[in-house]
Structure 1
Amino acid sequence: MNRGRIEAFTDAVLAIILTIMILEFKVPESFQLSAMLAQLPYLISYAIGYLFIGTAWYNHHYMFTQTRHITRDIYWTNNFWMFTTSFLPVATAWVGRGINKQGPEVFYFIVYSAWSFAYVELSRSLIKANEASGHPEVATNIKRMNIYRYLTNWKLVLIQTIVMVIILMYLPALQMVVVVMQIVLVGMRFNEDSDRLDG
């Protein structure tokens, strides 16, 4: 399978997801600047979602730029990853309407957890394909990615899940702060060679 086709398809889907997210932003009826305050929760949720997808895209690009052989397994796990990502606009919009409400925040956590699982499965598919096609160095680079090491560390994931459940029970809005911290401290810590790739 052609790597360029799957990357182009992924880019298009992610672009559509981002477009849907901004279309959820409602233009105020009033012309007073203070009217934007009612939209502040959605703006916060949207900004987090945009950062989430932007970081995910960069990591996805890193893995696919290095990968030399695309298999059916990679194609389908990539589709599964995009499927979980496609729920982000709904989760973002709902959280924007009730940023400290338990229902929207629990749904966001479910989407985030499903996305994390799908990301790990996609990474494993890429690792397996690169090892099988004689490119163990690429597999090693993917294994070295901070986000992969974090999401495959069951102890950290268990601690994160327990913390999130407690947060969702008592102060749901705090989940968004934790998500931003994870994006910045884990997702955005890219491999050193990530800005030197040609693809």
Structure 2
Amino acid sequence: MNKGRLEAFTDAVLAIILTIMILEFKVPESFQLSAMVDQLPYLISYAIGYLFIGTAWYNHHYMFTQTKHITQRIYWANNFWMFTTSFLPVATAWVGRGLNEQGPEIFYFIVYLAWSFAYAWLSRVLIVANRESGHEQVAENISHMLIYRYLSNWKIFVVQTAVVVVILIYVPALQMVVVTLQILLVGMRFNPDSDKLDE
């Protein structure tokens, strides 16, 4: 399969997801600036979702720029990752309506877990495919990405799940703080060569 077509398809799907997220923002009926206060929970949720997708796209771009050959397995793993990502607008909108409610926050956590599994699987498929095609350095570069090491570590997964379950019971809104910290501290720590891929 042509790598450029897959990357273009992925970019288009992510752009649509971001568009849907902003379209969920409701314009206030009032012309008073104070009317925006009611929209603050959604704005917070939207900002986190935008950061989430933007960071994921950068990491995705890094992996696919280095990958030399696209297999059917990579194609379907990428589709599954995009499928899980497509639930983010719904989770974002629901959390925006009930920032400290258990139902929306639990759904967001389920979406986040599904996305994490899909992203780790996609990364793993890319690592294996590059090793099998003789591109060991590419496989090593992807396997050394902090986001992959974080998402594929079962001990971290168990601790994170336990912490979030406690948070969801007592202060559901705190989960969004945890997600934001994970994006900032893990997702946005890129490989040193990520700025030099096109040079």
TM-score, shorter chain, exceeding 0.5: yes
CA–CA distance in structure 2, aligned partners of residues 152 and 77 of structure 1: 15
Counterpart in the other structure of 1:183? 183
Matched, 1:141 2:141: yes
Give 2:164's aligned amino acid: M
Where does 1:59-70 land on structure 2 (aligned, <5 Å)? 59-70=59-70
Alignment of 1:172 onto 2:172: yes
Q: Residue 88 of structure 2 corresponds to which residue in structure 1?
A: 88
What is the TM-score with the length of structure 1 in the denominator? 0.99
Give structure 1 stretches of 5+ with no counterpart.
none
The alignment covers a number of residue pairs equal to 199
Partner of 2:22: 22
What's the secondary structure of 2:198's corresponding residue? Answer: coil
Q: Which amino acid aligns with 2:26?
A: K
Cα offset, 1:29, TM superposition: 0.3
**Within 5 A, what are the aligned runs for 1:7-156?**
7-156=7-156
Q: Could you state the TM-score of these two structures normalised by the residue count of structure 2?
A: 0.99
Letter matched to residue 165 of structure 1: V
Aligned counterparts of 2:158 and 2:181: Cα–Cα separation in 1: 17
TM superposition shift of 1:167: 0.3
Aligned AA (2:147): I
Matched to 2:28, the amino acid is P
Instruction: Using the TM superposition, give the Cα deviation of residue 198 of structure 1 relative to its aligned residue in structure 2, in angstroms.
Output: 1.6
Q: For residues 108 and 28 of structure 2, what CA distance do their matches in structure 1 show?
A: 25
Q: Distance in 2 between matches of 1:147 and 1:60?
A: 11
What is the distance in 1 between the residues matched to 2:84 and 2:198? 28
**Greater than 4 Å deviation, 4+ residue runs:** none
Q: Determine the C-alpha separation between the residues in 1 that align with 2:20 and 2:59.
A: 22
Aligned counterparts of 1:112 and 1:152: Cα–Cα separation in 2: 14
Shift of residue 152 of structure 1? 1.0
Aligned-partner SS, 1:79? helix
Give the fraction of aligned pairs with identical amino acids, expressed as a percent: 80
Q: Deviations over 1:97-155 (max 9, x none)?
A: 00000000000000000000000110011001100111000000000000000011111
**CA–CA distance in structure 2, aligned partners of residues 24 and 91 of structure 1:** 11
CA-atom RMSD in angstroms: 0.7
1:160 maps to what in 2? Answer: 160
Report the residue type matching 1:151 in the other structure. L
Structure 2 stretches of 5 or more lacking a match?
Answer: none
